[in-house]
Amino acid sequence: MRILYVINGFDPGGAEHGLLTLLRAGFFAGHDLKVFSFCRGRGDLARRIGREIGEENLLIAKAEEVLSLRGILAGGVVLFGLLRRWRPDAAILSLKQANVVGRLVLCFFPRVFCISFEHIARYRARRGERLYGALLRLLSFRVDGVWADCRETLDATRDYFTSRTRRENVVPLFIADASLTRKASYALGAQARLVTAGRLVDRKNVDAIIKALKLLRDRGIAARLEIFGDGPERPNLQALAARLGLEAHISFCGYKADWLVLASSNDIFINAGDTEGFCIVVAEAMSAGLPVVAVDVGGIREYGVHEANMVKLAGVDHEDLAGALAKLLSSEDARRRMGEAARADMLAAYSANALRERAREIFSA
């Protein structure tokens, strides 16, 4: 089967890095695959993907780091030419800009099976959120199948599609690798070490984590926080840390591809995001045996079991978060029990073999 995978660009992140996960797991093995992106993106992810599929099978419309309106329009023209020349059997559209442009262009190629790959339950953007939602729903007539990174995402994103029969499949962008890293000890040091990771945007609510840290320290609990990731909210978060007098107790580590190796010795991983898809960072932390405190959204609802392999929060409230952290920090046995259960659960459910078997089921249909 000829498959064209269309994506915005190759910024290091969930959906973008998830493509690399699929490739390394052999998800597209036995098929003729090309990957098209509207821009190159930041970092070396494009190079790594090119190495996996062959540089001749990676097509980048504009060698820009940031996706622009001009790049989207120019990319639409390049995509049209590629579809006309190569005539794939299926096109997989990942992320909202790729979905809008891809669906428009695919109107001229009705024989190509169009798959919308959904990664988050609700589209959120600083600008144009309503416009994107309206366009995606308007153009959903061109979508023949929907993939989602978890069942929660699949159910929630039906609001962006008009009613018609479509093939629906769950394709998690995650593999639990037992060889990567593992938490060695659950004993606390001189101070508790908390950690979070992800793109620094509003919906991740890292400000609530910082406020929770302040409450812990005010209650006499010695703790510090490491934040892995970058994004538009970083200056605001640094300003908040300064206002609360926490500059000496918070490390802004930036984006690190090996963040999990660096963070596996920490005591608790925190995810305060209120809108998630599968949530790869939580799955990664669990696979390393880190105790997790997370808001119960997205894929976390599926693989997380409250007080069995993680602590779940009903919503984003820094006082509730501080209370949950204080309780978990008070018990080494609870941290060990949840961390070890989390690792065992993720290794059992999200192996490379399981993902390849999922691919066989999907493509055979």
Gap between the Cα atoms of 14 and 19, Å rounded: 9
pLDDT tens figures, 283-341: 999 999 999 999 999 999 999 999 999 999 999 999 999 999 999 999 999 999 999 99
Gap between the Cα atoms of 73 and 304, Å rounded: 41
Domains and CATH numbers, the chain: 2-175+351-364 (3.40.50.2000), 192-349 (3.40.50.2000)
Of 2-11, 93-102, 123-132, where does mean pLDDT reach its minimum? 123-132
pLDDT tens figures, 253-290: 998 888 999 999 999 999 999 989 899 999 999 999 99
Per-residue pLDDT, 246: 98
Answer yes or no: are the C-beta atoms of 143 and 168 closer than 8 Å. Answer: no
pTM of the model: 0.84
Of all residues in the chain, the percent with pLDDT exceeding 90 is 82
pLDDT band at 357; cut points 50, 70, 90? very high
Is a pLDDT exceeding 90 seen at residue 71?
no
Task: Give the up-direction half-sphere exposure of residue 174: CA atoms within 13 A in the CB hemisphere.
Answer: 28
Instruction: Report phi then psi at 150, rounded to 5.
Output: -160, 165
Region class of 296: left (phi > 0), else alpha (psi between -120 and 50), else beta:
beta
pLDDT tens figures, 193-252: 999 999 999 999 999 999 999 999 999 999 999 999 999 999 999 999 999 999 999 999
Per-residue pLDDT, 125: 58
